Amino acid sequence: MSLSTSLDFPSASARAAYIDERLAELYPETPIPLDHTSPYTLLVAVLLSAQCTDKRVNLQTPGLFAKADNPHDMVKLSVAEIDAHVRPCGLAPRKAQAIRGLSELLIEHHGGAVPHTFEELEALPGVGHKTASVVMAQAFGVPAFPVDTHIHRLAQRWRLTKAGADVVRTERDLKRLFPEEHWNALHLRIIFYGREHCTARSCDGLTCEICRTVNAGRLRAVRVKKA
């Protein structure tokens, strides 16, 4: 019996194999949710997406990028001018300050280009490990497994991790379970599935297709620990 038809998943690796297969069937294409035209505009968009929806970010970035879609033009804008464009994304003016600050550092240390290493990206203002992972995966094709709220929640519901609130452990567990060559597409597929079928409100670990399949004997709702 193939993994796609079996209801017996005694191990995390068996559940991961089924999930990998099923998500590839559901989402054969993995378009990047954030609109961008370059690694720089992707970096800015990902930074803005912290505690904000991709849809909202995509509504705000066209106006900003029309004025500055590269660090050289961005540093010509004041923090207040950047803030005026990104305020609906929340956490302003902190995000505006970070965008201007990282633009200055890109010019000063990287010739205006977005660096290709985790260490250099994470040294930029407002850029944490998740943001760096998204840029490395989606801009440069480097295998990474960014863990956002959807992935952290679903990894617990699908019993792929016992990390609790520890997103670092969630990322490590997922990297161990899934083939490295699948990471970049898979993290997007999990996000797509989480938004469409396994949201915080619509599923409690018992409702959606994958939750029902990989937890056929589960009787109680799952209490997910937030990062």
Catalytic residues: 130, 148
Secondary element (H or E) of residue 61: helix 54-67
For 45, residues 6+ apart whose C-beta sits below 8 A from its C-beta are 34, 35, 36, 57, 58, 61
Q: What amino acid is encoded at 15 in this protein?
A: R
Q: Give 158's Cβ-side CA count (13 Å radius).
A: 28
Pinpoint the alpha helices (H) of 68-217. 71-74, 79-86, 94-110, 118-122, 129-140, 149-157, 167-177, 183-196, 209-214
Which residue in 32, 5, 4 sits closest to 18, CA to CA?
Answer: 4
